[in-house]
Amino acid sequence: MSGPGYAVVIPTVGRPSLARVLEVLLDAPPEAAPEEIVVADDRRPGSHGPLPGADHARVRVLRTGGGGPAAARQAGWHSCRSEWIAFLDDDVAPPADWPARLCSDLAALPAEVAGSQGRITVPRPEGRAPTDAERATVALEDARWITADMAYRRSALEAVGGFDTRFPRAYREDTDLALRMIDAGFVLVGGDRECVHPLREGERRLSLTAQRGNADNALMRRVHGPGWRRRTGEHPGGLRAHAVTTGVLLAAILSWLTGRRAAAGVLGAAWTARTALFALRRLAPGPWTAEEVADMALTSALVPPLACWHRLTGEVRHAGAGPGPAVRAVLFDRDGTLVEDVPYNGDPDKVRPMPTAARAVALARRAGLAVGVVSNQSGVARGLLSAAQVEAVNRRVDELLGPFDLWRVCPHGEDDGCHCRKPEPGMVLSAAAELGVLPCECSLVGDIGADTDAASAAGARGILVPTAKTREDETEAAAETAPDLESAVLRLLAGAPR
């Protein structure tokens, strides 16, 4: 490879264009090919069927269950080990030389550079001006740090905690991450590679659903302060004007209901004038088709109250929001991680905490993180332990280090074909569900490769704390390591959004 190693993460809801993106990556020459290709399948549970182009041995599919693009990207980079993580959207059209140009962009970047953005170009419709909905896509050409084509160092993602999963839409999650990168002292640069983003065809009245983004703007203000738009180079939003228009409309309705017909008439005329001017400003670039004029008339009346409503709901939902840990739960392996590894231990008196274990668990708990234990106990399947003995040892661990918020134990053997035994992700997924968090909001800390592999398979963040029993190849393969448990938890807390 001509540049540093990189992985590609593509969140998807199953668009047919995914196959085109994957084809470019799979056909890349060996010197420019990605080390890992992860498709984060963010279709909701119950949505089945093959993903276009993803049935290839080099493509790893990670189910993220409809948590949104921030959660899908978070799970995606958690599952990768490469030095750089390149994020692509499933509806862009990278040219055949995109992998080689990415390698060229990343080569020899200084350590303070944490991210490289590709250029986005949007083709214009032939023979006419873009519609209002199409102009929203054209605006992507000038958007800064959007993850339609954005590469980040994995170490930088670790340092700031990655994506904030409180952003549920593909709208502000990339801007939030970029601002936190800059706040942490990193530099973001533009690259020379280019991707085409096709116009969204057949979408009308997109401006109505787009108003949901006002709730995300409320979160941006809470996290980054009132000047966040200025820092990103954006123009002030139209919320103040929408609030005035909505206020005039509500006053007109109230005046009518209370019998003040003259005042209602004046206010209604003012609302009509404001709405007409708003519609004309949106129509000015064209096209002046009957369909577009009708859409602008309708949506210009509905956008102001919708914008205000979604902003209000966002302010209420995020009233106490602020910088918070990107990881909301820490899951610990038991033997060799929390306590000394006594093979097939069924005796509570032999339980000895590992150095710094008590401080690590207390540190996570004080930070507001949920804490749990996920443990393979194949001694039960082998007949070397009883379930009661395992439970007795677990109670002793709870007495010394807990109480833990949950326990997950797999009693199966290697050949039982279960989905809970690490490196399978079953216990991680089950623990996340019970704790009410997304798997990508969990971290699994353990002492062997099966622990970090289970985290990777679930889209959780895995940290290896090597011991004398950890194989050298497991340490080399781990994306993140820490010298002890306390250091591992401190790594997670250091990655809190600032």
Active-site positions read 333, 335
CB 145 within 8 A of CB 178: yes
Estimate the share of the chain in helix, then strand, then coil, as percent rounded to the nearest 5: 45, 15, 40
Sign, CA torsion 80/86/92/95: negative
User: By CB neighbour count within 10 A (0-12 exposed, 13-18 middle, 19+ buried), where does 468 fall?
Assistant: exposed
What is the biggest distance separating any 2 CA atoms in the chain, rounded to whole angstroms? 88
Gap between the Cα atoms of 7 and 452, Å rounded: 17
Instruction: Return d(Cα 162, Cα 165) in angstroms, integer.
Output: 9
DSSP three-state, residue 86: strand
Place of tokens 């949920």: 370
- Hunting for tokens 């103040």 — which residue is that? 240
* Beta strands per DSSP E along 142-293: 149-153, 187-196
Q: What are phi and psi of 22, to 5 degrees?
A: -65, -35
Contact (Cβ atoms closer than 8 angstroms) between residue 215 and residue 314 = yes
d(CA 220, CA 385): 52
CB proximity list for 457: less than 8 A, separation 6 or greater: 62, 79, 423, 424, 425, 428
Helix residue ranges per DSSP H, 260-386 = 261-283, 290-317, 357-366, 379-382
Q: ω before 353 within 30° of 0 (cis)?
A: no
Provide the sign of the torsion angle of the four alpha carbons 66, 67, 68, 73, taken in this order: negative
- Which residues, in sequence order, are bridge partners of residue 10? 39
468: Cβ contacts below 8 Å, ≥ 6 apart: none
- Please tell me the distance from the alpha carbon of residue 190 to that of residue 150, in angstroms, as a whole number: 9
The single-letter code of the amino acid at 223 is V
Q: Token match 């170009």: residue?
A: 121
Contacts of 357 (CB under 8 A, 6+ apart): 337, 338, 339, 401, 485
